[in-house]
Structure 1
Amino acid sequence: MAERDPELTDGSARSKGIDWNGLMALDSRAVPDFLTKESYTYRGSEPVPAERYTSEEIAKLEREKMWPYVWQFAAREEDLPEPGDFVVYENAGRTYLVVRQEDGSIRAMHNVCLHRGRKLRTEDGSADKFVCPFHGFAWNKDGSFNSMPCQWDFPHLKEKEMGLPEAEVGRWAGYVFIREEKGGPSLEEYLAPLPEHFKRWRHEECATVMRVAKEVPANWKVVMEAFMEAWHTIVTHPQLLPFTGDCNAGYRTYGDNVNVNLVPFGIMSPHIAEGQGEQWIVDEFAKYNGRSSDNYDPEADPMAITVPEGQTAREALGEAMRAVYTEQTGYDHADASDCELLDGLVYNVFPNFAPWGGFMPNIVYRWIPGETPDTCVMEVRILARVKKGQPVPHGAPPRYLTLDQKWTEAPELGMLAEVFEQDMENLPYVQAGLKASKSGKVNYANYQEIRIRQFQDTMTKYVTGEPGDRA
């Protein structure tokens, strides 16, 4: 084996050619400082045990020592707009009712009857009180006890002790979070610096216009980590290479909980040796954008444009989208940088929440562990900005896809469905391979997979320590 360059040992190596910050220096508008400020800390190059993805014992530690102590994305405000509206949120062996109150506040209580343990609700809805379908024990929408049949037979149950146990609720930018065990950092502290970064992008003025959830035959961490780096595009999504940067994407980590992958679009992959010019990049972008539609009309596609002489594909696409989003939303986008209009600004918050930044309709991912370490549910939302001055509509209902269904059975996902299906061609075999691994080790890249290592480092703090040990 050839001797390695010493720089490779500390994570300082980068893809040859123009990197993220070099590209940002060419943007037609000033790029926000937080998108160009380096935030990388080398975390070592040691492998991690494959059992982290396959072991029931590890999954048990996650349920007991991690999930109760973290802020979990449970709903969007538009999912429960009116008093009495509720969302059933389930994760890691718990089930919750997330309920809008008369004063506009939101409370979360455990979705379990205190009589014989039946779930009070199995689907989202609206109610003034929650009556158990088994024996009729009832609770008000604030979780306080309402009534029960044959109360004479329960002299040992005191009404003041019969309120449904509650979880802590936090709200930010239209997102509703819960935390089972109260205490620890506030939601704002936990999310930092996400709230500061997202001020420009106004997710509180968005509504869910599309929502699809699918069961996947792989561990939730296996699936999530597939969306935490861009360089698998080279082999897994080759159709994206004409207009997508991969190994020249930027990666940032912030503390224990937050990281981001900055993926440039409207630029050729460094893995394309010879491109065919700026117009070719735009044409490939538009062609791919229309593949998923049988009624594709290039005249109606804002990305099907002619690149003016002297402009790059990114500049031309940025200018086109600047006009489109201004018209769609009623907000002026004159100062929006090309990267905020085009690029994949893919943030992750520990452990399982991933909102995209930028001014375009934003993707939001969430991953929920399954009943065994070998399955999970991946949920995809699309948020769109509500036009200036218009009320926020009710969020789109979810479509659920089973283990045997394909993402392409949700046509509302458009071209994303094809991309997700390409990922599915890998993920079940990753899970199977990890279980069969002779070495029992998983190796990460120093830079392009730094987000995964940060996630694993934070997970380790939870599953090997006590709650008081974490900052």
Structure 2
Amino acid sequence: MSNLKQAKFTVLPPEEVGNPNMFQELLKQEKVPVPERLDSSFPGFTNEDLPIERYSARWFHELEAEKLWTKAWQMVCRAEDIQKPGDHVVYDIVNASIIIMRGQDGVIRGFHNSCLHRGRALRMSSGAVNQLRCPYHGFTWDLQGEFKSLPTKWDFEHVDPCEMKLPEVKVATWAGFVFINPDPDAPSLEEHLDVMPEHFQDYSMERSVSVAHVQRRMPCNWKVAQEAFLESMHTRATHPQIMTFTGDIDSQYDMYGDNISRSVTPMAVTSSNLNDVDQALVLHDILEESGRMADADSSRHVLPEGMTAREYIGEMNRQMFSEASGDDLSQATLAELQDAILYSIFPNTQVWAGYFGNIVYRAIPDGDNHESCIFDIWLLGRHKEGEPCPAGARLTSLPDDFGFSQAPELGALGKIFDQDLTNLDAMTKGFKASKKGKVTLASYQESRIRHHHLTLDKYLGLDK
């Protein structure tokens, strides 16, 4: 095609399109064995509306503060962010604050961020220290949380040093992610993750490392930001430029137990919203617009005669991802080399599966403000087996008036996130203006949202 920008195709009526079986049909074309983890797993739900109060009401936020964030496993950071003894991250969730620190013994622990003398926060920000010393009066603990010293010992004869160990929260890791749970009686992280370790076992996630980390305050409740990535049906209205290579309304939606859900959006195929899209345009647009392929320069690639864009992108990724990671990807499916396979871990973390190009999202309340949240994006690469894990990417914290496109490390993804951002402030305004007082969900395409709220109700005691 001489001028791809002038390409002509047909946009079909939105009421008449969508093929939720597309992904399974594509799997039948694979030339390597297809793992069972890609099978469909949809339990089906009822269709009651959700009260808007779940997003907008102060009382609901306070119920979450009491019964969700004190009980649930939460991803707080990447292990490569705290590689050395004394490296730590301060994780603030509503009114709680936890120090996640690597000890002198190499173990990662989580301490309640409060001095046992007068209650001052021991650390106000992440960083590296050789001990935990309260800046107020100098009470000091070692990197394992054991009490070391206090001033004027003669005046604290009533204090038993053996009772001055810093209180801890449960800490566990998976695939380089560090999780905490403030509830000492909580089930194990392994139990919480359900199928995740099994489904990710071939992706070398143990050698994953963050190559970008961008954070921004979002003008909405944390669940609104979370739900923006739980469905793909918003693509036509919000991201129309990616429909030439994204099977948005053709996505597969899956649920596993209470805590895990998944969407699978086929890539390098044209959305059912469009017709008569030339394969050369599909190839051009996915390279230029997706932000996840092994190469983003469309001028370097010409589609061979008789080959589909999906086949070409899959084989390109197979070669380049294999070279970058040192892994043999000869038996990888085209789906796992390019499709948007996005898992959600309740309550607030989402991880893209596949052999490379893994994106991670996390949304947490912005302190005690239920109409604002902190949204993090990580991009993960791999380091080769036998090589030491490099340091993780430095955090880019965007000002409130900056868009994600002003974080160059996000590449073409920045524009897509900015398009999502335009909806979020409008959601908060729309909730307040709503006469209906409820939101209505699609039975299938928004089933992951339904699944999320059903699990949330179990934590909050609203499932009776």
Secondary structure, counterpart of 1:211 in structure 2 = strand
C-alpha deviation, 1:82, in angstroms: 1.5
The answer as to whether partners of 2:21 and 2:252 remain within 8 angstroms in 1 is: no
C-alpha deviation, 1:153, in angstroms: 2.3
Evaluate the alpha carbon distance shift between residue 224 and residue 17 of structure 1 in structure 2; reply closer, same or farther with a 3 A threshold: closer
Q: Distance in 2 between matches of 1:31 and 1:307?
A: 25
Query: Which of 10, 20, 38 lines up with 2:23 in the alignment?
Result: 20
1:451 aligns with 2:453: no
- What 5-or-longer segments of structure 1 have no aligned partner? 1-12, 291-297
Query: Which of 342, 349, 352 lines up with 1:353 in the alignment?
Result: 349
Evaluate the alpha carbon distance shift between residue 340 and residue 300 of structure 1 in structure 2; reply closer, same or farther with a 3 A threshold: closer
Q: Distance in 1 between matches of 2:334 and 2:33?
A: 9
Secondary structure, counterpart of 2:244 in structure 1 = helix
1:9 maps to none
C-alpha deviation, 1:315, in angstroms: 0.7
What are the residue-to-residue correspondences of 1:302-321 with 2, within 5 Å? 304-321=300-317
Secondary structure, counterpart of 1:339 in structure 2 = helix
TM-score (normalizing by structure 1): 0.91
Counterpart of 2:321 in structure 1: which amino acid? Answer: Y
What are the residue-to-residue correspondences of 1:42-53 with 2, within 5 Å? 42-53=44-55
Counterpart of 2:71 in structure 1: which amino acid? Answer: Y
The answer as to whether partners of 1:282 and 1:304 remain within 8 angstroms in 2 is: no
- What 5-or-longer segments of structure 2 have no aligned partner? 1-15
What are the residue-to-residue correspondences of 1:187-198 with 2, within 5 Å? 187-198=189-200
Residues 259-280 of structure 1 show CA distances to partners (whole Å, capped at 9, x for unaligned) of 011011100010013212x222
2:322 maps to 326
Counterpart of 1:413 in structure 2: which amino acid? Answer: L
Q: Is the deviation greater in 112-121 or in 370-379?
A: 112-121
What are the residue-to-residue correspondences of 1:118-267 with 2, within 5 Å? 118-267=120-269
Evaluate the alpha carbon distance shift between residue 17 and residue 457 of structure 1 in structure 2; reply closer, same or farther with a 3 A threshold: closer
C-alpha deviation, 1:200, in angstroms: 0.7
Q: Distance in 2 between matches of 1:15 and 1:407?
A: 30
1:293 maps to none
TM-score (normalizing by structure 2): 0.92
1:386 aligns with 2:383: yes
C-alpha deviation, 1:309, in angstroms: 2.3
Secondary structure, counterpart of 2:248 in structure 1 = coil
Cα RMSD of the aligned pairs, angstroms, is 2.0
2:13 maps to none
The answer as to whether partners of 1:266 and 1:314 remain within 8 angstroms in 2 is: yes
C-alpha deviation, 1:287, in angstroms: 3.2
2:4 maps to none
C-alpha deviation, 1:169, in angstroms: 0.8
What are the residue-to-residue correspondences of 1:299-448 with 2, within 5 Å? 301=297, 304-370=300-366, 371-448=368-445
Q: Distance in 1 between matches of 2:32 and 2:112?
A: 48
Counterpart of 1:255 in structure 2: which amino acid? Answer: G
The answer as to whether partners of 1:230 and 1:246 remain within 8 angstroms in 2 is: yes
C-alpha deviation, 1:288, in angstroms: 2.6
Query: Which of 66, 84, 87 lines up with 2:86 in the alignment?
Result: 84
C-alpha deviation, 1:304, in angstroms: 4.5
C-alpha deviation, 1:154, in angstroms: 2.5
Q: Distance in 1 between matches of 2:239 and 2:391?
A: 34
The answer as to whether partners of 1:73 and 1:178 remain within 8 angstroms in 2 is: yes
When the two structures are aligned, how many residues end up with a matched partner? 446
Q: Distance in 1 between matches of 2:21 and 2:345?
A: 28
Evaluate the alpha carbon distance shift between residue 423 and residue 17 of structure 1 in structure 2; reply closer, same or farther with a 3 A threshold: closer
Residues 61-100 of structure 1 show CA distances to partners (whole Å, capped at 9, x for unaligned) of 1011111111111121111112222111221221111111
**Percentage identity across paired residues of the two chains:** 40
Evaluate the alpha carbon distance shift between residue 196 and residue 81 of structure 1 in structure 2; reply closer, same or farther with a 3 A threshold: same
Secondary structure, counterpart of 1:374 in structure 2 = strand
Evaluate the alpha carbon distance shift between residue 155 and residue 289 of structure 1 in structure 2; reply closer, same or farther with a 3 A threshold: same
The answer as to whether partners of 2:208 and 2:382 remain within 8 angstroms in 1 is: yes
Evaluate the alpha carbon distance shift between residue 22 and residue 299 of structure 1 in structure 2; reply closer, same or farther with a 3 A threshold: closer
Counterpart of 1:284 in structure 2: which amino acid? Answer: D
1:7 maps to none
The answer as to whether partners of 2:104 and 2:143 remain within 8 angstroms in 1 is: no
Evaluate the alpha carbon distance shift between residue 122 and residue 425 of structure 1 in structure 2; reply closer, same or farther with a 3 A threshold: same
The answer as to whether partners of 1:302 and 1:320 remain within 8 angstroms in 2 is: no
C-alpha deviation, 1:289, in angstroms: 5.3
C-alpha deviation, 1:126, in angstroms: 2.0
The answer as to whether partners of 1:31 and 1:339 remain within 8 angstroms in 2 is: no
What are the residue-to-residue correspondences of 1:271-290 with 2, within 5 Å? 271-276=273-278, 278-288=279-289
Counterpart of 1:72 in structure 2: which amino acid? Answer: Q
